[in-house]
Structure 1
Amino acid sequence: MDYIYLHGFASSPKSAKAQDISDRFTQIQTRLKIPDLNAGDFSQLTITRQLTQVAAEFSNDSTPVTLIGSSLGGLTAAHLGQQNLQVQRLVLLAPAFGFLSHWLPKLGDEKVQRWQREKYIMVYHYGEQRCLTTSRSASTLPLNYDFVTDAAQYQEKFLQRPISTLILHGKKDEVIPIEASRDFVRSRPWVELVELDSDHTLGNVMEEIWQAIRLFCQLP
């Protein structure tokens, strides 16, 4: 079994969650791949690009794959599972179901229209925080509006492959409300939802998350 972790939107392989899970995999001597989904150019990020990039990480010998995805990485993992029979298990951490419907209203119509018109918007990028400055502006990167038009085609209604899936979602999630995962599970009996006392970061429940992953994936 190959294990691949997909970090979230405007994040990186160095995120606290990615590093925590990576360290735990190291402790049980199991390899975990964590590709950088920014791919050296966050400005041209799309879900399609992420799907292509992660699929290229799969072994050519049909080795089964378990994907662990956080937020937008969780949404990407779910669509990879739909498209690739090699993916046999999914662990989704606060998956970004309905991502655009939650994110765009927070930006506001005027800002979204300006983004569409000017093609780029500056996005705060948690993975690009500079060590030598506390300036918020130093951690913003441009993102092309193509991200929105591309993301619009990846809807949950297309996720119908009965793949063994575990969702871990915080009941206090302020970014992707837990209702998004509850709605997803309702019509998919092959999906298990564990509701946690946490927010979108899930930072206070990493031990619970690891134990759930370990049991679900039958890790040593």
Structure 2
Amino acid sequence: MKKIAILCAAMFYPIYTCAEIQPISPTAESFLKDNEKRESTQCFTESEAKKDALLKIPHTRVFSYIYKKDSGSGELSFMGAGAKVKKGDIILQIFDYLKYDKISINDKDAVKGVGYRVRIEYSVKSKELDLAGVFNLGGMASSGEISGTMIVEVLGITGEIIDSLIPSSPLQITEANMQSLFETMGQIKGKMYSNDVGVCPSVVAMESPDKKQSIL
């Protein structure tokens, strides 16, 4: 635990994370603690049970992960928020907007919660760029500095009304699509407490995940 604090000070405070914490597909905490337990993530739909489940994940924050993709092998390397990229680079940015809590799994730091994940992959068309937050990407695409697509994934929030809000295919990065994306995320957040929506808190990021757990 101390090792991670040293390598990535205030890891859970900035929106940008360090190389040791990586996003994973939503997975039941019990399964990660014991691979023999093939239990599915527990979901809560009844009002009081859902309220109790959300009280156990009391924090709200954006986690951001930035990677450079090798155009030949497809391998990803972690990049810090202050890194610069050049023409021809392929960048993958993942933004997790979460209601969460920190937990420990087999002596590894992990993040358990619900929310939504935006996965954006783009190629750099200009000579050099500073890595931007998600708010700037639409304008950068409009000006021809980048081009690419984005995918939205809901993490642990279920219901027909939620399913109907999510685009069925990747979206091109444009200012209009970015605006639509933020409107969709606002709608998902607003529906979380609705009676016809369930919440299923699961582990969505952890320290040094196995390859089979990683989404990268």
Measured against the shorter chain, the TM-score band is under 0.3
Instruction: Choose between structure 1 and 2: higher helix proportion.
Output: 1
TM-score with structure 1 setting the length: 0.27
Higher relative contact order (CA 8 A, sep 6+): 2
**Structure of greater Rg:** 2
Instruction: Choose between structure 1 and 2: higher strand proportion.
Output: 2
TM-score with structure 2 setting the length: 0.27
